[in-house]
Structures are given as structure tokens and as C-alpha cells.
């Protein structure tokens, strides 16, 4: 049988209840002891005052000098005792002989207790046990006309009487104690109830185990994890999330407003919006991240959102290369189809006996193709980039666009990583082809790639409608879609390559209208392909 372990809230409630009970009990005992001490002190003051009053009474001094003092002093002492609420008023001779007592049978018997200080003329108080039990008593001398001690007055209150008075106050003390316990218990219960809701009724061992699992998962998960609370503040970010976003591992970010962090605007907008997102592309510094976000709620209360980030930088590079290869394949397929048509035309001309025209048509097409190939291959030593430009040239021809490779282009092998070259040139050419698509003929795109002086310069110009200057920075930073504002994700990928190599870009109007892009990438920061 498994024993159910106490939750943190239950343990806290039990501990608080025990501590409060002990404190209230200690307080009650302390209050009782203080009340008892106060009652004894009050009784001491009372008996001393009564004894001094009786000792100074003229009738007491006169009675002590009379032949039968008891006849006068007994009724007087009893009246004083009844009037003051004391337990005994005893008037005695210096030799301890009693002249008054609550029990008349004890009149004439010796007084029990110390009377030495009073015989010396000093009043004093003491707790002593006499015929009525333990009592708080005062003994005061009675002085005659000549100043000698002619008698003594002892007034006392028994301890039992004092205790009875204290017992009379006990119900009030118990009532106060009960109220304090009830209030403390209610407060502890409310606190434990709140804590139970916040800890979901978990015990210390469960929470420790949960924290261990949470910490292990948080540091070992392969995706970046970012949690934003309902107030838009960063609640959690794991190690991978910091790495992907380029954040210092030791930087204190938790509980700071997410919008105030130096992060990509697209990521800030997504995280603070709280909306659901699936495989949304986020460009962060030199990385391409895929973001997924899901709002979280508990019992109908929104807690915030959980954002996961995956690094797709290498995949984006491979995709770019694949797109270039796919474009080249489509261009070759199209050229093969066009070559087949021309071949059929040449064969038909030969069959018709018009060999001269057949030879002229074949040599013209071969000359044009060979001229373009020789120009590109001669200028661009990087084979992948040369193949890309030949493919883009075929694509441009299909779209009715004239793609020119500047005769001054020169690029050595290994000047920059091949993937980065293909990303920059391919996306800029695609961007230019899309720009001139809406323009009237003639449609032209010019490409110039030059390496030298420690840098690679890529220049792509078109005669399209042009890119407004106020949209240049947004196009490179945000990666607008071609279906909406701007010129697509390609420019953002180009911007990433420029940032990674510490280069720079310039965008301005082309001499004949349109836009020209200048990209400068330092060779020293590149690595051979």
C-alpha cells in the first residue's frame, strides 16, 4: 500500500498550526503568570494600605491601652475585614497575643509568623502560612503617644482568594486565546490553500523531481525554447535559444519585457502577439530560424506563449543551391526542346535541298551559344557560379529578358564559399528578373562579378520600376514576400551573407532606370569552398 505524501501546502499548514498553537499557548501561560504576579503585587499593596490605616486609627491606639482591648478591637477589625475584602485583620500585643481574628476562638492565642521588623518600628510584607493557610500579609506597628510600639496590626489575603480572583478572569483569557487561535488557523488555511493552487498540490519530493527533469530537458533539448508570459515578459529561454539568437549565456534576461530586448523585430512581433504560428521563417543575424508558437492556458486563464526555434541556416543554403540547380535543369530541358525544334528545321531544310540556309541557321545558333558560354566561362573561373549564370541566362531568354554578363567580370576559384556566392548572385538575379517582368521591352539585366583588392564585388542592375529608397533596409532585414510588399526573401538571405562576411551593400538607381545592387564581400573573412 502506497502512503500518500503530504503536499507542500499541507506541510506548511501543519507546521504553521503547530507553531501558532505553541506560541498562543506560551502567550497564554505567560499572560497567566503575569496576571498572577500582578494579583500578588496588588494584594501586597492592598494589605499594606489597610494595615497602615488600621494602625493609625485613634480607636485602635485607645483600645490597646484599655483593660480589655479585644472587646473593642474584635468588632472593629471584623468590620474593616468585611469592608475591604481581606481575609483577616489581626490586632495583637507586642508579645504576639491576638486581640482580633476571623475565628473568635483564636483570640488570645499567639500570632504565627515573623514580626521582628514591625517590632523595630518598620512596616513590612511577607508571604507566610498561618492558621488560614498561605497568605500575603502586612505587619504594621502601632505607636503610642511616646513613640513606643504598643501593638501590631496584621492584614492578609490568602493565596486561595487570589487564585479565585484569577480563575474568575480565566474565561476572558480563554476566549481571547481561542479567537487568536481561530484567526491564526484561518490565515494559515487561506495561505496553504493559495499555495496548494500555485503548487498544484505537489509535495517537496515531487517538485524536486520535476525541477530535475525540467532542468535536464531544458538544457538538453535540441531546439531553442522561449517562454513569454501573459504580460509580454521573458519567462524562460534555454541554452539553445540563446545560441540561436546570439545572446550572451550569462546575460540576465528573465523577467524583462520581451519587446525591450535587442532581438529581430519579426521575432519580437511574433512572441509578443501571442498568436499561434507554424514553421514561420525568422531571420536573426546570420541565421535562418523556423519558429513555432503556441499560446498556453490553464483553467481558462492565459499564461502566455511557448516559442520554439529551429536552425535552418544550412538547409536554406542547400535549398538555394537546389533551386539554382533546378532552374538550370529546367533551362537545359527548355534548351533541349528548343534545340530539337531547330534540329528538325535544319533537317527539313536539308531535305528540301536548301543546304546553304540549313548550314547558316545551324552555325548562327551555335555561334551565339558558344559566344555566351565562352564569355561566362572565361570570366568566371568558379564552375558552379558559371553554370548558375548560364542557367539564369536561359531562364531570362525564356522570359524575354536579355541577361548580360559584363565582359570585365573576373572571379577566381575559392575567393568565397560557393554556397554564399550562389546565394548572393542567384537571389540578386532572380530579384532583377522579377523586377523587369512588369516592365515593357526591352528588358535587360546586367551582372558583374569582380574579385580583387581583398574583396569580391557583385553588381546586378535591371531596368525595372526600381526599389524605393525607404524600402531598401526593410527588404534586406525583413525578407518581404514577392506576393506582397518588396522583392522577396532573397534579399534577406543576401543580407545574411553580407552580415556573416562583414561586407556591405549599396542600392541605388541604375543609369538607364531601374535599380542597381552593389555587394562587397571581404575575401579575408571567407573560407575556400
3-state secondary structure 279-321: EEEEEECCEEEEEEEEEEEECCEEEEEEEEEEECHHHHHHHHH
Tell me what pLDDT residue 152 has.
92
Report the SS3 class of residue 41: helix
Tell me what pLDDT residue 29 has.
79
Tell me what pLDDT residue 64 has.
87
Distance between CA 79 and CA 102 in Å, rounded? 11
Q: Which of 159-173, 341-355, 468-482 is the least confident region?
A: 468-482
pLDDT over 70 at 489, yes or no: no
Q: How far is CA 306 from CA 65, 262, 270, in A?
A: 105, 19, 11
Distance between CA 388 and CA 406 in Å, rounded? 15
pLDDT over 70 at 170, yes or no: no
Supply the mean pLDDT for the chain: 76
Cell of 478: 525583413
pLDDT tier for residue 527 given thresholds of 50, 70 and 90: very low
Tell me what pLDDT residue 486 has.
38
Q: What is the pLDDT of residues 86-111, one digit of tens each?
A: 888 889 998 888 889 888 888 888 98
Distance between CA 28 and CA 22 in Å, rounded? 10
Report the SS3 class of residue 103: coil
CB neighbour burial string for 488-521, b if at least 16 within 10 angstroms, e if fewer: bbbbbbbbbbbebbebebebeebeeebbbbebbb
Determine the average pLDDT of the residues in 423-449: 82
Question: Computed over its alpha carbons, how large is the radius of gyration of the chain?
Answer: 54
Distance between CA 79 and CA 91 in Å, rounded? 13
CA 312 to chain centre: 29
pLDDT tier for residue 529 given thresholds of 50, 70 and 90: very low
For the whole prediction, is pTM greater than 0.85? no
pLDDT tier for residue 315 given thresholds of 50, 70 and 90: low
Determine the average pLDDT of the residues in 382-406: 77
Tell me what pLDDT residue 487 has.
42
Q: Which is more confidently placed, 52 or 356? A: 52
Q: Where do the DSSP E strands lie in 375-442?
A: 401-405
CA 279 to chain centre: 27
pLDDT over 70 at 7, yes or no: no
Tell me what pLDDT residue 141 has.
92
Tell me what pLDDT residue 369 has.
54
Q: Is 242 exposed, middle or buried (0-12, 13-18, 19+ CB in 10 A)?
A: middle
pLDDT tier for residue 274 given thresholds of 50, 70 and 90: confident
Count Cβ atoms below 10 Å from residue 380 Cβ, excluding itself: 25
pLDDT tier for residue 336 given thresholds of 50, 70 and 90: low
Residue 490: HSE in the Cβ half-sphere, 13 Å Cα cutoff? 25
At 306, give phi and psi (nearest 5°). -115, 125
Q: Are residues 510 and 463 in contact, defined by beta-carbon separation less than 8 angstroms?
A: yes
Q: Are residues 46 and 157 in contact, defined by beta-carbon separation less than 8 angstroms?
A: yes
Count Cβ atoms below 10 Å from residue 339 Cβ, excluding itself: 13
Q: Which is more confidently placed, 294 or 188? A: 294
Number of H helices, E strands in the chain: 14, 14
* Residue 69 host element (H or E): helix 69-84
Amino acid at each position: 500500500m502506497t502512503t500518500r505524501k503530504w503536499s507542500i501546502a499541507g506541510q506548511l499548514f501543519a507546521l504553521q498550526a503547530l507553531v501558532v498553537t505553541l506560541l498562543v499557548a506560551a502567550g497564554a501561560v505567560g499572560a497567566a503568570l503575569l496576571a498572577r504576579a500582578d494579583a500578588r503585587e496588588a494584594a501586597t499593596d492592598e494589605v499594606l494600605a489597610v494595615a497602615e490605616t488600621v494602625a493609625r486609627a485613634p480607636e485602635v491606639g485607645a483600645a490597646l491601652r484599655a483593660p480589655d482591648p479585644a472587646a473593642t478591637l474584635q468588632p472593629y477589625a471584623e468590620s474593616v475585614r468585611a469592608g475591604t475584602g481581606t481575609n483577616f485583620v489581626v490586632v495583637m500585643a507586642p508579645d504576639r497575643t491576638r486581640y482580633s481574628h476571623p475565628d473568635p476562638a483564636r483570640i488570645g492565642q499567639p500570632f504565627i509568623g515573623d514580626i521582628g521588623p514591625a517590632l523595630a518600628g518598620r512596616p513590612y510584607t511577607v508571604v507566610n502560612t498561618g492558621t488560614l493557610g498561605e497568605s500575603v500579609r502586612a505587619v504594621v506597628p502601632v505607636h503610642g503617644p511616646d513613640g513606643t510600639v504598643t501593638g501590631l496590626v496584621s492584614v492578609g489575603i490568602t493565596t486561595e482568594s487570589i487564585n479565585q480572583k484569577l480563575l474568575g478572569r480565566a474565561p476572558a483569557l480563554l476566549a481571547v486565546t481561542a479567537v487568536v487561535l481561530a484567526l491564526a488557523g484561518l490565515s494559515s488555511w487561506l495561505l496553504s490553500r493559495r499555495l496548494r493552487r500555485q503548487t498544484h498540490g505537489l509535495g517537496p519530493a515531487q517538485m524536486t523531481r520535476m525541477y530535475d527533469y525540467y532542468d535536464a530537458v531544458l538544457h538538453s533539448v535540441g531546439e531553442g525554447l522561449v517562454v513569454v508570459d501573459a504580460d509580454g515578459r521573458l519567462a524562460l529561454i534555454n541554452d539553445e535559444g540563446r545560441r540561436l539568437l546570439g545572446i550572451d549565456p550569462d546575460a540576465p534576461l528573465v523577467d524583462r519585457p520581451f519587446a525591450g530586448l535587442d532581438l529581430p523585430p519579426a521575432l519580437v512581433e511574433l512572441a509578443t502577439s501571442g498568436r499561434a504560428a507554424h514553421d514561420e521563417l525568422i531571420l536573426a543575424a546570420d541565421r535562418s530560424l523556423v519558429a513555432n508558437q503556441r499560446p498556453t492556458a490553464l483553467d481558462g486563464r492565459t499564461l502566455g506563449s511557448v516559442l520554439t526555434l529551429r536552425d535552418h541556416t544550412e538547409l536554406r543554403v542547400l535549398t538555394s543551391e537546389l533551386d539554382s540547380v533546378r532552374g538550370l535543369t529546367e533551362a537545359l530541358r527548355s534548351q533541349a526542346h528548343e534545340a530539337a525544334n531547330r534540329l528538325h528545321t535544319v533537317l527539313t531544310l536539308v531535305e528540301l535541298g536548301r543546304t546553304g540556309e540549313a548550314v547558316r541557321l545551324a552555325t548562327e545558333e551555335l555561334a551565339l551559344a558558344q559566344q555566351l558560354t565562352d564569355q561566362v566561362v572565361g570570366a568566371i573561373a568558379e564552375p558552379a557560379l558559371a553554370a548558375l549564370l548560364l542557367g539564369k541566362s536561359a531562364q531570362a531568354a525564356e522570359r524575354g529578358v536579355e541577361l548580360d554578363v559584363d565582359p570585365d567580370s573576373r572571379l577566381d576559384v575559392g575567393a568565397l564559399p560557393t554556397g554564399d556566392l550562389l546565394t548572393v548572385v542567384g537571389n540578386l538575379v532572380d530579384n532583377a528578373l522579377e523586377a523587369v517582368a512588369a516592365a515593357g521591352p526591352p528588358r535587360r539585366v546586367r551582372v558583374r562579378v569582380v574579385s580583387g583588392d581583398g574583396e569580391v564585388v557583385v553588381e546586378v542592375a535591371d531596368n525595372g520600376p526600381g526599389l524605393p529608397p525607404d524600402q531598401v533596409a526593410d527588404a534586406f532585414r525583413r525578407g518581404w514576400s514577392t506576393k506582397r510588399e518588396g522583392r522577396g526573401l532573397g534579399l534577406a538571405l543576401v543580407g545574411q551573407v553580407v552580415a556573416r562576411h562583414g561586407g556591405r551593400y549599396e542600392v541605388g538607381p541604375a543609369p538607364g532606370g531601374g535599380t542597381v545592387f552593389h555587394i562587397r564581400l571581404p575575401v579575408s573573412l571567407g573560407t575556400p569552398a
